[in-house]
A and B are shown apart, each in its own frame.
Chain A
């Protein structure tokens, strides 16, 4: 079967969708579009730099472009350089797999103070995302709000000693920033009780490998009748009391933030306990890791509200959504694979290709479009001579990315 399909977003959801479509129908033309000049979304900029094993799925995704005929069009922003409507007119099918890149807000007074950071923005900075803010000063006593895997990732990275980053792709400036952070204590706070925490137990157990910390878990129940909750509690019990290093890590639960205090910079957070008491926790910075939300460019809210079948991800004729963009910011890489596989079946069942669709000709003349061949030049550059103890040296800016792609064309 022929047919032209455009997928917006080249993170796990978009790539798994392309994979499922091409496995079932190798003749399809599948084009993956990303607003960044580089592919793979959160695998590159969200999966922690010291979790290289989890980034191994990139080998599957590379095969899409190297063997299966999918095409990459990077540095192209839909609803900026071209409209979603124009894209829909040019393709038989358009799929929104753009994820959710904005930080969900806590909604308490003081959130606008300096020293308050969304976890997503901090994760970008730590991963050398080209649109990241400068690495902030977190002071000696950062407090992290949230009990998901993102919160644990940040906790672990901020707690690591320099040698514990060996084998990662942490950049030079990030490595210096971590090494000189001056962090003495890290608190991680959950609104709900420990058994309802969202993190995976294996992520908590991993903290027992940290060499420079001492860990205390406060207010977690001993056990639970629910097996999933019991595993979380067991993981917390396992790390409680771990280590005698200088950096103190404290887990606290059941604390609802009421307000962030400070004159010009956050210096304490006012919480309410489960019994209704007040608790003030001093901080030198407050990081909120409480989920992600849409940044608005694709008008997600309206599209989802009008969706024909939101369960599978059909928004309208020829328009679909998958992954976090469809479901919201829950679930890890495997869940997005399952989501994409289910959607691929639906798309193929619906597909009625038209011969007059112009496809990628719509945007092919865009001057700074990045192709997969350009990315291969960047990728080779990044892994060719990494610094000692690193597996990759990430290119940090859009300008450098585009320059490398261009240089490769001039050589031809």
Chain B
């Protein structure tokens, strides 16, 4: 299956995780990995499954590299019906705005008609788990789910 990882990052942690997920999935799939700041709303393709990795910054805001994408979505109002995505969030439970960046990004895609597969999974930087220990099984499960859904759609 064709997969594109999109990451929104501020300190680089989400970028590193997206790179690692790409390496993990690459053996069995065709996987691209792009920074959201280099991705335009018109780049979405219905035949591709999108895995998003997004941190949170400041006061529960989207991270810097997701902000130009959010602005472009607002300006271009693309129709994302038929686009499937799943999303993984990075956050820090020390703050009350825990993982709101990924929540906002998921809502943004859904508001333009895209379909979210699975629940948003979130890693807590102040917790004991490593992000990849949550993210690798999540990515595998989401890809399996997408294989079912996208073949039904086709």
Contact A56 to B125, CB < 8 A, known contacts A51-B94, A202-B58 = yes
B7 at the interface (CB under 8 A from A): no
Contact A60 to B13, CB < 8 A, known contacts A53-B92, A200-B58 = yes
Q: Report how far A59 CA is from B16 CA in the complex, Å.
A: 9
Interface extent on B, as a size class? 10 to 19
Contact code string B54-96 (vs A, CB < 8 Å = 1, else 0): 0001111000100000000000000000000000000011111
Chain B residues closer than 8 Å to A53, beta-carbon distance:
92-94, 124-126
Q: Report how far A334 CA is from B13 CA in the complex, Å.
A: 11
B111 at the interface (CB under 8 A from A): no
Interface class of chain A by DSSP? helix
**Chain B residues with a Cβ under 8 A of chain A:** 10-13, 16, 57-60, 64, 92-97, 124-126
- Kindly provide the distance from the CB of B59 to the nearest chain A CB, expressed in whole angstroms: 5
Q: Which of A54, A63, A200 contacts B92 (CB 8 A)?
A: A54
Query: Would you mind naming 30 contact pairs between A and B with Cβ atoms under 8 Å apart?
Result: A16-B12, A19-B12, A51-B94, A52-B125, A52-B126, A53-B92, A53-B124, A53-B125, A53-B126, A54-B125, A56-B11, A56-B13, A56-B125, A57-B11, A57-B12, A57-B13, A59-B13, A59-B16, A60-B11, A60-B12, A60-B13, A167-B126, A200-B58, A200-B59, A202-B59, A202-B97, A205-B59, A205-B95, A206-B96, A334-B57
Q: For the A-B complex with A60-B12, A206-B95, A333-B11 known, give 6 more contacts whose Cβ atoms are closer than 8 Å.
A: A53-B94, A63-B16, A202-B95, A206-B94, A208-B96, A334-B11
Residue of A nearest to B130 (CB): A59
Q: Report how far A167 CA is from B93 CA in the complex, Å.
A: 12
Q: Report how far A235 CA is from B60 CA in the complex, Å.
A: 13
- Kindly provide the distance from the CB of A141 to the nearest chain B CB, expressed in whole angstroms: 28
* Most B C-beta atoms less than 10 A away, residue of A50, A202, A205: A202
Interface extent on A, as a size class? 20 to 34
Chain A residues closer than 8 Å to B12, beta-carbon distance:
16, 19, 57, 60, 337
Chain A residues closer than 8 Å to B59, beta-carbon distance:
200-202, 205, 231, 235
Chain B residues closer than 8 Å to A51, beta-carbon distance:
94
Contact code string A43-66 (vs B, CB < 8 Å = 1, else 0): 000000011111011011001000
